[in-house]
């Protein structure tokens, strides 16, 4: 890695409101939401946070905070502070994924600024929808000759380029979390993402997929809106 370049830590925290949350008086819930939002905003210089609602899209989660930081400690400190708020004490975290940025070993030709895998910085495009899932390859993949893997991944990337409305953010979890990758696709067109995933199912590289679920469909919101959607 070139001197001076820093990797980012990337966190996907999915929250679910406990049943007692909806039984609280409106004024108490409003105060708890403001307190929660205040903590998020107080970490703004250390942690980039993008809030998404998942209400009505999955039954087991209500909110996603997609967080990006150069400091792993900052993500942990922020999570601690959020738990101490009136809302945070009533939120479960059914899913949480931790990863880092890393240059892709398969992106070698026609590299341009911002291209998937060409940089160590996540730059969210802030599209309306975000599709997130953890990803694990079969161990057999890593024992294949490098040229064979490169050929399959080049084909994979070529298919992705057929869908310019879909932007992929791949982050790496080796040794940090249970999965190997976390992928986050941004798009304003859910139908394009569906068609892309369906086409990729037929690619040679897909034969080496061990797990690519659960899948989360998320809608980008302002922080106040995302918290209001919880109830």
DSSP assignment, residue 63? Answer: E
Q: Distance (Å, rounded) from C-alpha 35 to C-alpha 116? A: 36
Residues 210 and 226 in one domain: no
Which domain CATH number covers 56?
3.30.70.1030
Residues 18 and 56 in one domain: yes
In a domain, 142, yes or no: yes
**In this predicted model, what pLDDT tens digit does every residue of 196-227 receive, in sequence order?**
999 999 999 999 999 999 999 999 999 999 99
**In this predicted model, what pLDDT tens digit does every residue of 11-45 receive, in sequence order?**
999 999 999 999 999 999 999 999 999 999 999 99
In a domain, 109, yes or no: no
Write the CA distances from 119 to 68, 104, 115, integer angstroms. 14, 8, 7
Residues 59 and 128 in one domain: no
In a domain, 3, yes or no: no
Ranges of residues in the chain with a pLDDT under 70 are 1-4, 108-119
How many domains in the chain? 2
Residues 77 and 14 in one domain: yes
Domain range for 169? 123-214
Question: Cβ atoms within 10 A of the Cβ of 156, count?
Answer: 15
In a domain, 84, yes or no: yes
In a domain, 1, yes or no: no
In a domain, 33, yes or no: yes
In a domain, 117, yes or no: no
Q: Distance (Å, rounded) from C-alpha 225 to C-alpha 146? A: 47
Please give the pLDDT value at position 41: 98
In a domain, 144, yes or no: yes
Please give the pLDDT value at position 119: 63
Please give the pLDDT value at position 16: 98
Please give the pLDDT value at position 108: 63
């Amino acid at each position: 890695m070139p001197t001076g370049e820093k990797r980012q830590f990337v966190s996907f925290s999915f929250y679910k409101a406990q049943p007692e949350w909806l039984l609280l008086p409106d004024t108490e819930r409003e105060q708890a939401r403001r307190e929660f939002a205040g903590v998020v905003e107080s970490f703004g210089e250390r942690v980039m946070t993008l809030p998404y609602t998942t209400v009505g899209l999955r039954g087991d989660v209500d909110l996603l905070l997609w967080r990006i930081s150069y400091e792993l400690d900052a993500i942990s400190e922020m999570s601690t502070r959020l738990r101490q708020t009136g809302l945070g004490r009533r939120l479960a975290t059914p899913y949480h994924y931790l990863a880092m940025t890393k240059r892709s070993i398969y992106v070698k030709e026609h590299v341009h600024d911002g291209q998937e895998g060409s940089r160590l910085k996540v730059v969210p495009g802030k599209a309306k929808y975000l599709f997130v899932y953890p990803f694990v390859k079969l161990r057999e993949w890593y024992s294949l000759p490098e040229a064979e893997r490169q050929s399959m991944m080049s084909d994979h990337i070529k298919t992705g380029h057929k869908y310019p409305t879909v932007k992929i953010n791949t982050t790496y979890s080796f040794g940090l979390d249970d999965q190997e990758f976390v992928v986050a696709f941004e798009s304003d067109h859910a139908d394009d993402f569906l068609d892309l995933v369906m086409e990729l199912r037929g690619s040679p590289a897909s034969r080496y997929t061990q797990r690519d679920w659960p899948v989360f469909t998320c809608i980008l919101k302002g922080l106040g809106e995302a918290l209001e959607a919880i109830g």
